[in-house]
């Protein structure tokens, strides 16, 4: 499809205000007469609260109120199930360090900070459940005794083909045990916001969020108010990466505003973000893969134990998504998969870039790398033999819809990375001499795929509005796109503006995008699941078509009107049906649409210290259609950054439920010096016929293959498999010692 | 956090200010350590006495074979100083590896010493250079060897509530002498090391005639591997001598297990690697095979 | 309380501050210069970077009174006569900002670098922003923006 604005790297809508520093993030707002809130956090990962004494805190001059459990109209919330108390009261349990006991509201931030130290809380400690493998055993202490007699909140079973036979008949079986780490999103803007009562008496929260429309029912439930009495405004957001899908602050602000009827501001410091907000799920995985000697996969047997932490958050859908990709983009005729999501008293785990599939990508790609090694086969060639194509049958018995771009992504990545193809055989590049005698070079490839939009029969929909202002001759003068899509930085507003400009044949500069305010903009769903370009793009393109039709009518009828508005609700299910897991066999139609990626890492490992440096990196991303190529490159750079940190440096360490990495001085995201010196993005455009202009999603796919590519490259360099990562220098060194 | 922020105009005035608020006033230089420590109430202070505007403490100069570095000199200034680069390269390397540019622009070398962490990069090089510090206190001024300043993790024998360090000095490297600095950390920059080492050696007539090896954090204070250094003296600067010294250094080092920094076993082994690498580079430099600022 | 007199973005500013107030808070809360961001509050990320007498510092751990009599430059001070600084313009042109939270600090680190070294190598640019963390971009476009700005500034004869 030839396009005019879509496909151009137009400047981002918000770039100018961001480089000026004038763009306001939640902490940058202040209101007349505002109060300041601070949370009194749990001091124990698992304990019963026996006494809360707020008298000293309330006596401090400047303290307006100390809010406790009895002040909360309906003291529960949760993004999927309401298993979380807003405030833990006397007699109730804390289940992790992120539980709140009280909220101190004061005239100044300093006073609030002082007063929170004066709240006296007594606890009766309970046994701490800190390993999900222990927690799932019968008789383990229960994290939620009120929710049945097990800590397991979801068990997914997949039984495909004859899995026993699949493995029994294999010529080679690769068997591994993996542990993926707890990691933190580290969005740079700490949670912050203001709650107040607006002119229409609505409880209003101005704060960062990924899905404003979904916070509203949770807040309304908590306050026992109708939903139209609650309003969310989302200004600029300093990153999210899944970490703002749950409410960390929104409900607290709403509660303060509701109770005090004054504006209340709260800003987290970094250690609160580190230790009191959700993380990515660790997976503990037993994985067996069988293949014939010529490299055809015959079967897999997989057990995944995913750690939920203290509350369910989105763990169930995360594990469902992750499990659906447990075998990767490969045709596996026989499979047995068991996946468990298990409560513990460690940090709550939640959505994070990849939504459970990032961990899956690590395990299935490590298996493929090991298999290639065991078979003495080139790793590109082995993958090519098994990769999906249009119509392939996936792990849950579903047919892969048209637009499978993974082969093309792998082919282009491999060629860019120096592989040669000769008659269907793939030949790896010669890496040349290392930069120093004690350095060992290594190169490896990995693939990944991820759904776009929500899955398993969820009615994923997005509503987008468009308004046209016409000039006297009936030409479109200005366009406003109306959406509550939150721009977490990825540029959804820019991409939508480009698509509107394209669909309406106007200039990009004529289009503006409204602010995400639930009071005025339609619900476009969450900024997650790499979904907006696909689903909101589809809604927008259709709204534009409607608007054009209306305009033509007006012109025909010569009414002289100069304003046209149209809105479209697009449902994912209208183009492809998805279905939930069958409880016994796991067969289902998991997702509507997919995006694909293949990446190659060239590393050097220090054979004496175990340190790994990633020298060069190639990322082939199949995005269907790059709406804005530079934004795609930005997503890829960021995805690789996060994947590199995941692979090598990032680890959120807890001991018995207590966080040991509490600051950015002990949780290490990559600096510019840690990034590969050469980074090449190869944009692959295998169109998705259901996507707007052929586009798929981008955001999450960029991070999936990174860690397995790097860690497989470490093996290529020094011959050790790092199955529990991050692959710190010490872990690599230890593995080399054992060899 | 603090009640009063003072700018003395002379060292004597600074000392008077400390005395006027006995026990409650403390010296601040760049504040890159103290500010956070006060905020977290680890190091209490009601009054801070900022020494960065006292005239005469910003020098980096050589006199009679000794280099003098004033108490206001920042890591960035040390790293960029041509004098230090040519006559004490190991110190430039060490200071250049502290934090990021913003921290190096503000944090001082002297503050790095008084903060007394066994992992401090700048301090490690000062140990290798056999530095001394000039202490100004009520009774006058005296020169104290660097090792005498350390009493344990975060504990400096110069109490910055009563006294201050005005400058450091150490012998400039002569012909045939060179040093090198190595560190190991969990990422490439903006991070405290899990291990670092600074070495200095002198070669004369094809033999090593002096050597100093400092290592951190493998004890409660920066650790000087005397035996390892002694084993080098009198030997030809070859791979075997270097390897042997590195091994001795590793045997003598006693890093504690740390959940965040790594196991004892790993870090002990790494002492050998880092010391060997640093010595190898120092030998190459001393033999003129490599410029003082070059890479291996 | 003490009176802090400084030159902020070329203009004299006089504010009452506490002895322990940090520059970032004074700039944001007392002078309304919200372009100075706070992310870690402990010198570890560079989001709060401002220039004091031309040197980059992390203002979240920089005692405000240290700025007494000094010249402070924040992101708001970069545009000249309404025109964006070439570094700011280059950041827009290469799509460097994503969420934008790290961007003011990055731009100020870049300015400190280019003022000192107008023709940096890529390695020197990396070094120059090595005290600034970004979680969104992977840094590539940020580095390219600084390169582009350096080129454009050289063409214009080193305009600052
Ligand atoms: C983000 C970050 C990263 C860092 N990374 C590193 C690193 O990689 N390696 C490393 O070694 N360090 C690192 N540091 C610490 C380093 O910045 C400090 O050790 C610095 O050198 C201290 O100097 P200062 O001038 O800031 O001291 P201050 O903070 O002002 O003072 C520190 C202590 O020394 C005392 N003091 C200071 N000057 C004198 C004096 N003249 N006489 C007597 N007492 C005095 C003070 O009372 C205080 O107790 C890092 C710090 C930060 C914030
Ligand atoms: S906020 Fe100042 S360095 Fe992070
Ligand atoms: S653009 Fe988001 S942190 Fe840098």
Question: Strand (E) positions, C30-148?
Answer: 49-52, 55-58, 71-73
Q: Do C2 and B100 touch (CB under 8 A)?
A: no
Which residues of C sit within 8 Å Cβ distance of B?
2, 18-20, 22, 42-44, 46, 49, 55-58, 61-63, 65-66, 68, 109, 112, 127-128, 130-133
Q: Which of residues 7-36 of C touch A (CB under 8 A)?
A: 28, 33-36
Residue whose tokens read 């607290």: A252
Cross-chain CB nearest to B187 (options A608, A660, A670): A670
Is residue C117 less than 8 Å (CB to CB) from chain A? no
A723/A181 Cα distance (integer angstroms): 11
Exposed e or buried b per residue across B85-124, where buried means at least 16 C-beta atoms within 10 angstroms of its C-beta? bebbbbbbbbbbbbbbbbbbbbbbbbbbbbbbbbbbbbbb
A174 lies in some domain = no
Chains contacting A (3 or more CB pairs within 8 Å): B, C
Q: What is the pLDDT of residue B290?
A: 66
Residue B262 token pair? 């790594």
- Percent of residues, chain C, with pLDDT higher than 70: 98
Q: Identify which ligand lies nearest to the alpha carbon of B37.
A: 1
Q: Is B111 left (phi over 0), alpha (psi -120 to 50) or beta?
A: alpha
In terms of CA atoms, which chain A residue is nearest residue C108? A19
Residue whose tokens read 């966080």: A659
Q: What is the pLDDT of residue C160?
A: 46
Which atom of ligand 3 is found nearest the CA of C106?
A: 4
Residues A627/A3, Cβ–Cβ less than 8 Å: no
Residue whose Cα lies nearest atom 37 of ligand 1: it is: B111
Is residue A661 less than 8 Å (CB to CB) from chain C? no
Q: Does any ligand 2 atom lie closer than 6 A to the CB of residue C38?
A: yes
Which chain B residues are Cβ-neighbours of C22 within 8 angstroms? 35
C-alpha dist (Å) from residue B147 to B51, B118, B194? 23, 11, 21
Rounded distance from Cα C43 to ligand 2 centre (Å):
4
Q: Do B186 and A728 touch (CB under 8 A)?
A: yes
| Residues of each domain in chain B carrying CATH 3.30.465.10 | 60-156+164-171
CATH, domain B177-286, list 3.40.120.10, 1.20.140.160, 3.30.390.50, 3.40.50.11900:
3.30.390.50
A3 lies in some domain = no
C-alpha dist (Å) from residue A386 to A329, A474, A707, B142? 8, 55, 21, 76
Q: What is the pLDDT of residue A489?
A: 76
**Interchain CB contacts (distance < 8 Å): B and C:** 77
Q: What is the CATH number of the domain that holds A440?
A: 3.30.365.10
Q: What is the pLDDT of residue B295?
A: 39
A475 lies in some domain = yes
Residues B228/B249, Cβ–Cβ less than 8 Å: yes
C-alpha dist (Å) from residue A308 to A342, A348, A351, C119? 5, 6, 11, 51
C-alpha dist (Å) from residue A195 to A107, A642, A721, B69? 15, 32, 50, 53
In terms of CA atoms, which chain B residue is nearest residue A612? B187
Residue A289, strand partner residues:
A174, A300
Residue whose Cα lies nearest atom 3 of ligand 2: it is: C43
User: Do A600 and A544 belong to one domain?
Assistant: no
Q: Do A189 and C101 touch (CB under 8 A)?
A: yes
The closest of A283, A272, A315, A255 to A182, measured between CA atoms, is A283
User: Do A423 and A539 belong to one domain?
Assistant: no
Rounded distance from Cα A667 to ligand 1 centre (Å):
21
Residues A80/A120, Cβ–Cβ less than 8 Å: no
Exposed e or buried b per residue across A281-306, where buried means at least 16 C-beta atoms within 10 angstroms of its C-beta? bbbbbebbbbbeeebebbbbbbbbbb
A1 lies in some domain = no
Q: Do B101 and C42 touch (CB under 8 A)?
A: no
Q: What is the pLDDT of residue A211?
A: 80
User: Do A537 and A628 belong to one domain?
Assistant: no
Q: Does any ligand 3 atom lie closer than 6 A to the CB of residue C66?
A: no
Give the end of a domain, one of A529, A552, A574.
Answer: A574
Q: Do B101 and C68 touch (CB under 8 A)?
A: no
CATH architecture of C2-74: Roll (3.10)
Rounded distance from Cα B35 to ligand 2 centre (Å):
13
Query: For residue A230, what is the DSSP state?
Result: E
A8 lies in some domain = no
Q: Does any ligand 1 atom lie closer than 6 A to the CB of residue B115?
A: yes
Q: Per mean pLDDT, which range of A197-206, A455-464, B234-243, C101-110 is the poorest?
A: A455-464
Computed on alpha carbons and rounded to an integer, the radius of gyration of chain B in Å comes to 19
* Residue A125, SS3 per DSSP: strand
Which atom of ligand 2 is found nearest the CA of C39?
A: 1
| Residues of each domain in chain C carrying CATH 3.10.20.30 | 2-74
User: Do A334 and A196 belong to one domain?
Assistant: no
In terms of CA atoms, which chain A residue is nearest residue B262? A730
Give B119 to chain C, closest Cα distance, Å. 17
By DSSP bridging, strand A476-482 and strand A461-470 are antiparallel
Residues A643/A707, Cβ–Cβ less than 8 Å: yes
Chains contacting B (3 or more CB pairs within 8 Å): A, C
User: Do A569 and A595 belong to one domain?
Assistant: no
Domain hosting A473: range is 15-23+459-574
Which chain C residues are Cβ-neighbours of A639 within 8 angstroms? 138
Give residue B71's Cα distance to chain centre.
Answer: 13
- Percent of residues, chain B, with pLDDT higher than 90: 94
Is residue C136 less than 8 Å (CB to CB) from chain A? yes
Q: What is the CATH number of the domain that holds A91?
A: 3.90.1170.50
Mutate which of C37, C41, C74 for ligand 2 pocket (most atoms within 8 A of beta carbon): C41
Taking only the tens place, the pLDDT of each residue in B2-31 is 999 999 999 999 999 999 999 999 999 999
Q: Does any ligand 1 atom lie closer than 6 A to the CB of residue C43?
A: yes
C96/C144 Cα distance (integer angstroms): 8
Query: DSSP letter string over A126-185?
Result: ------HHHHTSTTPPPS-GGG-S-SEEEEEEEEES-HHHHHHT-SEEEEEEEEPPPB--
Q: Whole-model pTM above 0.95? A: yes
User: Do A690 and A702 belong to one domain?
Assistant: yes
Which residues of B sit within 8 Å Cβ distance of C?
1-5, 7, 28, 31-32, 35-36, 38-39, 47-48, 50, 52, 76, 99-103, 105-106, 189-190
Which atom of ligand 2 is found nearest the CA of A664?
A: 4
Q: What is the pLDDT of residue A526?
A: 81
Is residue A633 less than 8 Å (CB to CB) from chain C? yes
Q: Do C131 and B100 touch (CB under 8 A)?
A: yes
| Residues of each domain in chain B carrying CATH 3.30.390.50 | 177-286
User: Do A486 and A569 belong to one domain?
Assistant: yes
Cross-chain CB nearest to C103 (options A18, A628, A636): A18
A166/A290 Cα distance (integer angstroms): 7
Q: Is the preceding peptide bond at B109 cis, omega within 30 degrees of 0?
A: no
- Segment B145-171 shows an average pLDDT of 97
Q: Do B52 and C66 touch (CB under 8 A)?
A: yes
C61/C40 Cα distance (integer angstroms): 10
Cross-chain CB nearest to A24 (options C34, C99, C136): C34
Residue A128 token pair? 């701490």
Q: What is the pLDDT of residue B293?
A: 44
Does the domain made of B4-50 have the CATH classification 3.40.50? no
Q: Identify which ligand lies nearest to the alpha carbon of C41.
A: 2
Give C126 to chain A, closest Cα distance, Å. 6
In terms of CA atoms, which chain C residue is nearest residue A353? C136
Rounded distance from Cα A672 to ligand 3 centre (Å):
12
Q: What is the mean pLDDT of each run of 10 residues along chain A (739 residues)?
A: 88 94 97 98 98 98 98 96 97 98 98 98 97 97 95 98 94 98 98 97 93 90 97 93 94 98 98 98 98 98 98 97 98 98 98 97 98 98 98 97 96 98 95 96 98 91 95 93 84 92 96 85 81 92 96 91 94 92 97 95 98 98 94 96 98 97 97 98 94 90 97 98 98 96
Q: Does any ligand 2 atom lie closer than 6 A to the CB of residue C47?
A: yes
Rounded distance from Cα B126 to ligand 1 centre (Å):
15
Mutate which of B99, B154, B183, B214 for ligand 1 pocket (most atoms within 8 A of beta carbon): B99
Question: What's the structural domain count of chain A?
Answer: 3
Q: What is the pLDDT of residue B294?
A: 40
The closest of A366, A295, A279 to A327, measured between CA atoms, is A366
Which atom of ligand 3 is found nearest the CA of C98?
A: 1
Which numeric CATH code is attached to B60-156+164-171?
3.30.465.10
Q: Is A165 exposed, middle or buried (0-12, 13-18, 19+ CB in 10 A)?
A: middle
Rounded distance from Cα B111 to ligand 1 centre (Å):
4
Q: Is A391 exposed, middle or buried (0-12, 13-18, 19+ CB in 10 A)?
A: exposed
Cross-chain CB nearest to C101 (options A11, A238, A663): A238
Does the domain made of C86-155 have the CATH classification 1.10.565.10? no
Rounded distance from Cα B99 to ligand 2 centre (Å):
12
Q: Apex CA A133: angle with CA A130 and CA A134, to 5°?
A: 65
Q: Do A630 and C139 touch (CB under 8 A)?
A: no
Give C54 to chain A, closest Cα distance, Å. 19
User: Do A584 and A565 belong to one domain?
Assistant: no
Sign of CA dihedral B28, B32, B33, B36: positive
């Amino acid at each position: 499809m030839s396009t005019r604005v879509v496909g151009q790297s137009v400047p981002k809508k918000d770039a100018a205000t961001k480089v000026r520093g004038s763009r306001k993030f939640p902490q940058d707002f202040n209101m007349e007469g505002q109060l300041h809130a601070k949370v009194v956090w749990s001091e124990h990962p698992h304990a019963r609260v026996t006494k809360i004494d707020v008298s000293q805190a309330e006596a401090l001059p400047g303290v307006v109120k100390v809010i406790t459990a009895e002040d909360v109209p309906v003291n529960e919330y949760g993004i999927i199930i309401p298993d979380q108390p807003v405030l833990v009261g006397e007699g109730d349990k804390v289940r992790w360090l992120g539980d709140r006991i009280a909220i101190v509201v004061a005239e100044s931030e300093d006073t609030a900070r002082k007063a929170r130290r004066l709240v006296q809380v007594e606890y009766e400690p309970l046994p701490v459940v800190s390993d999900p493998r222990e927690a799932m055993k019968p008789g383990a202490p229960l994290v939620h005794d009120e929710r049945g007699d097990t800590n397991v909140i979801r068990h997914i079973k997949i039984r495909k083909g004859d899995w026993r036979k699949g493995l029994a008949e294999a010529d080679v079986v690769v068997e591994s045990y993996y542990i993926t780490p707890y990691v933190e999103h580290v969005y740079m803007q700490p949670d912050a916001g203001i709650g107040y009562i607006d002119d229409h008496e609505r409880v209003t929260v101005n704060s960062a969020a990924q899905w404003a429309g979904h916070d509203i029912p949770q807040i309304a439930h908590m306050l026992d108010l109708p939903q139209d009495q609650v309003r969310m405004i989302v200004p600029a957001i300093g990153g999210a990466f899944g970490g703002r899908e749950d409410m960390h602050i929104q409900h607290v602000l709403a509660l303060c505003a509701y109770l005090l009827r004054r504006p209340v501001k709260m800003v987290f410091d970094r250690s609160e973000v580190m230790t009191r907000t959700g993380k990515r799920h660790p997976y503990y995985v037993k994985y067996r893969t069988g293949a014939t000697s010529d490299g055809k996969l015959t079967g897999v047997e997989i057990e995944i134990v995913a750690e939920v932490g203290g509350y369910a958050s989105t763990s169930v859908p995360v594990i469902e998504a992750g499990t659906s990709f447990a075998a990767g983009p490969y045709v596996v005729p026989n499979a047995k998969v068991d996946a468990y999501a298990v409560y513990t008293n460690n940090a709550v785990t939640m959505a994070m870039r990849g939504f459970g599939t990032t961990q899956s990508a690590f395990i299935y790609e490590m298996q493929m790398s090991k298999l290639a090694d065991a078979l003495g086969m080139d790793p590109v060639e082995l993958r090519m033999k098994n990769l999906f194509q249009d119509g392939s049958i996936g792990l849950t018995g579903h047919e892969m819809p048209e637009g499978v771009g993974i082969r093309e992504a792998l082919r282009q990545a491999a060629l860019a990375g120096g592989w040669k193809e000769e008659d269907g055989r793939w030949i790896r590049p010669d890496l040349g001499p290392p930069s120093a005698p004690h350095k060992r070079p290594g190169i490896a490839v990995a693939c990944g795929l991820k759904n776009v939009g929500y899955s398993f029969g969820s009615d994923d929909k997005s509503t987008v509005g468009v308004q046209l202002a016409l000039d006297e001759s009936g030409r479109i003068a200005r366009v406003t796109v109306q959406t509550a899509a939150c721009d977490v930085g990825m540029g959804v507003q820019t991409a939508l503006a480009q698509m509107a400009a394209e669909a309406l044949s106007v200039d990009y500069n004529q289009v503006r995008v409204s602010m995400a305010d639930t009071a005025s903009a339609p619900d476009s769903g969450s900024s997650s699941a790499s979904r907006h370009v696909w689903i909101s793009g589809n809604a927008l393109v259709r709204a534009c078509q409607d608007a054009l039709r209306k305009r033509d009518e007006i012109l025909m009828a010569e009414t002289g009107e100069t304003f046209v508005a149209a809105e479209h609700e697009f449902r994912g299910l209208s183009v492809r049906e998805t279905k939930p897991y069958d409880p016994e066999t796991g067969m289902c139609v998991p997702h509507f649409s997919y995006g694909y990626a293949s990446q190659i890492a060239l590393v050097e490992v220090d054979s004496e210290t175990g340190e790994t440096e990633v020298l060069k990196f190639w990322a082939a991303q199949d995005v269907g259609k790059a709406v804005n190529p530079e934004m795609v490159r930005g997503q890829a750079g960021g995805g690789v950054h996060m994947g590199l940190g995941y692979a090598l440096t990032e680890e959120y360490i807890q001991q018995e439920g207590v966080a040991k990495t509490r600051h950015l001085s002990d949780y290490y995201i990559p600096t510019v010096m840690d990034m590969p010196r050469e980074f090449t993005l190869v944009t692959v455009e295998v169109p998705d016929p259901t996507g707007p202009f052929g586009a798929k999603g981008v955001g999450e796919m960029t991070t999936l293959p990174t860690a397995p590519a790097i860690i497989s490259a470490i093996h290529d360099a020094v011959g050790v498999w790092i199955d529990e990562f991050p692959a710190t220098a010490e872990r690599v060194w230890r593995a080399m010692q054992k060899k | 956090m603090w009640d009063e922020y003072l700018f003395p105009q002379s060292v004597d005035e600074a000392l008077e200010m400390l005395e006027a608020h006995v026990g409650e006033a403390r010296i601040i230089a760049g504040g890159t350590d103290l500010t956070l420590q006060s905020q977290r109430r680890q190091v209490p202070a009601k009054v801070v006495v900022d020494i960065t505007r006292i005239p005469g403490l910003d020098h980096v100069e050589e006199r009679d074979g000794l280099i003098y570095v004033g108490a206001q000199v920042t890591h960035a200034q040390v790293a960029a100083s041509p004098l230090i680069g040519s006559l004490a390269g190991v110190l430039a390397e060490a200071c250049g590896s502290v934090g990021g540019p913003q921290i190096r622009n503000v944090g001082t070398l002297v503050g790095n010493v008084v903060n007394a962490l066994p992992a401090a990069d700048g301090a490690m090089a000062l140990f290798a250079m056999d530095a001394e510090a000039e202490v100004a206190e009520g009774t006058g001024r005296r020169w104290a060897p660097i090792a005498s300043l350390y009493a344990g993790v975060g504990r400096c024998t110069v109490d910055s509530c009563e006294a201050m360090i005005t400058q450091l000095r150490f012998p400039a490297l002569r012909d045939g002498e060179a040093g090198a600095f190595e560190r190991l950390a969990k990422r490439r920059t903006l991070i405290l090391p899990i291990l670092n080492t600074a070495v200095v050696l002198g070669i004369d007539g094809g033999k090593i005639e002096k050597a100093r090896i400092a290592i951190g954090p493998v004890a409660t204070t920066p650790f000087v591997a005397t035996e390892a250094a002694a084993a080098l003296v009198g030997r030809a600067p070859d791979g075997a001598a270097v390897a042997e010294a590195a091994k001795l250094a590793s045997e003598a080092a006693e890093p504690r297990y740390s959940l965040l920094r790594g196991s004892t076993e790993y870090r002990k082994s790494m002492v050998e690697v880092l010391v060997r690498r640093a010595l190898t580079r120092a030998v190459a430099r001393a033999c003129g095979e490599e410029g003082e600022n070059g890479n291996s | 309380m003490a009176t802090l007199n400084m030159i902020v973005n070329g203009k004299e500013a006089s504010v009452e501050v506490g002895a322990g107030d940090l520059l970032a808070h004074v700039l944001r809360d007392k002078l309304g210069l919200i372009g100075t961001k706070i992310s870690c509050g402990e010198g570890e990320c560079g989001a709060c970077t401002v220039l004091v007498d031309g040197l980059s510092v992390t203002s979240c751990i920089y005692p405000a009174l240290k700025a007494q009599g000094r010249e402070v430059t924040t992101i708001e001070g970069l545009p000249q006569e309404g025109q964006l600084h070439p570094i700011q313009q280059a950041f827009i042109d290469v799509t460097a900002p994503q969420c934008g939270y790290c961007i003011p600090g990055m731009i100020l680190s870049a300015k400190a670098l280019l003022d000192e070294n107008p023709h940096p190598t890529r390695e020197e640019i990396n070094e120059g922003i090595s005290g600034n963390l970004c979680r969104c971009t992977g840094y590539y476009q940020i580095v390219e923006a600084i390169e582009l700005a350096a080129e454009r500034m050289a063409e214009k004869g080193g305009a600052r």
